Structure 1
Amino acid sequence: MELVFDGHNDVLLRLWRNMKAGGDPVAEFKHGTPAGHIDAPRAKKGGLAGGLCAIYIPSGDLVLKEPDANGHYVTPLAAPLDYAPSLDIALEKASIALRLDRAGAWKLCRSIADIRKAMADGIFAAVMHMEGCEAIDADLANLDVFHAAGLRSLGPVWSRHNIFGHGVPFAYPMTTDTGPGLTELGFELVKACNRLGMLIDLSHITEKGFWDVAKTSDQPLIASHSNAHALTPVARNLTDKQMDAVKESGGLVGLNYAVTMLRDDARDDAATPLSDMVRHINYMVERMGIDHVALGSDFDGATVPREIADAAGNQNLVAALKSDGYADDELAKLCRENWLRVLGQAWGE
């Protein structure tokens, strides 16, 4: 079995929602559930050894548009969120992450050594990530607090605007150049992440924002859960020029399992073959090289191919890649080693 370290999931969102409905997030993750995609038993079965677990503030007003007769759709950006309620939700999700760690349900990792030890011990290696920084104040004062709690990665924006920058809409077909980039506060956020050794994720930012980060950050460029725009031209996928910059910086792109970002028609259809995942991997490997491609499932945040279904099915993708000719050392890079390398660079290890 090829162990996988995954660049993006929304398991904290699912656990938080169920907690609000009276559930126990520790028991749900530790003992398993038929809901969603990730828990400890299914992760172990599928070789999902760890990943970046997102603190994401939901946008209740966002409803994905149905495709028109040509299969095209444009979903307007979600409205900006207020700071105070966003901070409340972020703290509740960080609390869940810490409670899981205290209960031994997973290991909250702050270093590459932590990740490797957890993987060796057979414990899910969780890294706290923030997807959209609505919970961070304009003075960046609480960024230090979240860092102390274990936050080691963030994306300045989700698919909405905030005080730090502008996000891309859910739309097909659409260019990645959908609006402005970082704000002045966004540039300060990037510099603060560089000082703290916190990874910066570019998967939801506009193309202008991507280039703003590229010219400001001293880290490798990372898009944790994005695919090839040349194959599936949704606004969130990356152009060839962006991938060239990722390669030049020593960064990586994590394959997003979301079917809307894999299919030729970008439809939300679980009957999406593994071959669509393989062709995006192949395209990115050909463009950037094997050292700059990894996995970023978006488990618990998107519809994934039926042949994967959930974390227990991860080895089906590994088998498909192996059948396509990837050698064992290449699979190790795609599945975990590339992530561990760039995390170590971002964290100054």
Structure 2
Amino acid sequence: MLKTTIRSSLLAVIGACATITVAAQDYEASEKARQLADKYLIVDTHIDVPYRIHNSWEDVTRATDQGDFDYPRAVAGGLNVPFMAIYIPAEYEQTGGSIELAHDLIDSMEALVGRAPEKFALAYSTKAAAQNKQNGLMSIAMGMENGTPMEGDLDNLRMFYERGVRYISFAHSQTNHISDSSYDIRKQWNGLSDFGFELVKACNEIGMMIDVSHISDEAFYDVIETTEAPVIASHSSLRQFTPGFERNMSDDMLKKLAENDGVVQINFGSSFVAQQANRYRDMMKNRIEAVYEQFGEESDEAKRRVEEIQASNPYPYATLDQVLDHIDYVNELIGVRHIGIGSDYDGVGDSLPVGLKDVSTYPNLVQGLLDRGYSENDIEMILGGNLMRVWKQVEELSQ
């Protein structure tokens, strides 16, 4: 009960701040930025629409009241290839049912295309993604977030590849039968399991991109030492700006990623981008918990003090400029060839940064890149060219 109450209090704080932050947004893309966003292929490798509409259905082929993605906003932002996350919660490793959930989520994306074939088309290859743009259609690509549906059987990898999944994140918030997780203090495998090593090789053979977001540092190095193909971090940012946050990538990992010719797709979520936001929930949890322990969580005094804590500690949203700092850092450390976009739209709640609140705001990112001196060629690479290069290399290796 205590954990539920604290979580509700934190969500209330973030929700209350969201309206204020959006109203205060002062980023405005120029006509040139909008033209570049429209001209070049924008590939975002992590958008959580499938699980969002699984929990609370909305027709995202039209404008929606909720969420970060719908077709009109995506068109306004210039988005061409959203990789929709086939997200499997970590508890399915124990409860079972992960394969069924994965099929349900894939079905929902096929249904999305079926409802609006004049707007969307499935993209199972780099060639299809490029052709869809030429035809004026938005590509629906898919990546599996959490490899639990493999269930220790490589035939399942082939099955989900045939269904259109084109990358797999080996784990999510807990260790599973494939890999240790960056969020899990239990390091059951000290990296990858024996099956995890087999899965790396099978992904290379079949043409499945390997996503190193969410796995532990040791598992990352195991993947890098085993794979013959470049890998992606589909929605990660940099540990340089969030010390101690293993979910983000360290400098050494970035250097290994560059040696592998892979790409880090920068996550927009405030807790991935800014140290203050990263530590906010733990800070608030500890302060609220102390109040409840002292006064009792149902007492009037506790309620009054929690309200004071909330009022005096608004959620510290990151900004577009801080997201750009991550891009600059990768560029300076390993080069522009290894940078992409993995926003985590519809996956990080109301914690998105000022200037990047939904899929209509990619031109703001382009404007920021222009302001920081990135060339048009650099911008093309960051928006989608680098990801398409890796995807193509993975395809070619499997042939």
**Secondary structure of residue in 2 paired with 1:153:** strand
Q: 1:304 matched to which residue of 2?
A: 352
Q: Give yes or no for the alignment of 1:89 onto 2:81.
A: no
Rounded to whole Å, the distance in 2 between the matches of 1:254 and 1:299 is: 13
Q: 1:168 matched to which residue of 2?
A: 182
Task: Judge conservation of contact 1:178–1:206 (CA < 8 Å) in 2.
Answer: no
**Aligned letter for 1:188?**
E
Task: Judge conservation of contact 1:270–1:306 (CA < 8 Å) in 2.
Answer: no
Query: Any idea what the Cα deviations from partners look like across 1:93-136, whole Å, max 9, x if unmatched?
Result: 01011112333142211111110111222322121110101112
Residues 215 and 229 of structure 1, relative CA distance in 2, 3 Å threshold:
same
Q: Give yes or no for the alignment of 1:53 onto 2:64.
A: no
Q: 2:246 matched to which residue of 1?
A: 235
Residues 118 and 83 of structure 1, relative CA distance in 2, 3 Å threshold:
farther
Task: Judge conservation of contact 1:170–1:235 (CA < 8 Å) in 2.
Answer: no
Q: 1:338 matched to which residue of 2?
A: 386
Task: Judge conservation of contact 1:203–1:236 (CA < 8 Å) in 2.
Answer: yes
Query: Any idea what the Cα deviations from partners look like across 1:158-184, whole Å, max 9, x if unmatched?
Result: 12111111111189xxxxx99721001
Among 279, 282, 292, the alignment partner of 2:325 is 279
Rounded to whole Å, the distance in 2 between the matches of 1:44 and 1:188 is: 40
Q: 1:247 matched to which residue of 2?
A: 258
TM value normalised by structure 2: 0.76
Q: Give yes or no for the alignment of 1:198 onto 2:192.
A: no
Q: 2:151 matched to which residue of 1?
A: 137
**Secondary structure of residue in 2 paired with 1:145:** helix
Cα drift, residue 51 of structure 1: 2.3
Q: 2:368 matched to which residue of 1?
A: 320
**Runs of 4+, deviation exceeding 4 Å:** none
Cα drift, residue 81 of structure 1: 2.4
Pick the structure with greater CA Rg.
2
Q: 2:73 matched to which residue of 1?
A: 42
User: Residues 212-227 of structure 1: matches in 2 within 5 Å?
Assistant: 212-227=222-237
Q: 1:68 matched to which residue of 2?
A: none
Q: CA RMSD in A?
A: 2.0
Higher helix share: 2
**Aligned letter for 2:102?**
A
Cα drift, residue 145 of structure 1: 1.4
Q: Give yes or no for the alignment of 1:158 onto 2:196.
A: no
Rounded to whole Å, the distance in 2 between the matches of 1:347 and 1:304 is: 33
Task: Judge conservation of contact 2:340–2:383 (CA < 8 Å) in 1.
Answer: yes
**Secondary structure of residue in 1 paired with 2:96:** helix
**Secondary structure of residue in 2 paired with 1:82:** helix
Q: 2:293 matched to which residue of 1?
A: none
Q: How many residues align?
A: 318
Gaps of 5+ in 2: 1-33, 282-314
Rounded to whole Å, the distance in 1 between the matches of 2:136 and 2:189 is: 44
TM value normalised by structure 1: 0.86
Rounded to whole Å, the distance in 2 between the matches of 1:154 and 1:287 is: 26
Cα drift, residue 137 of structure 1: 2.2
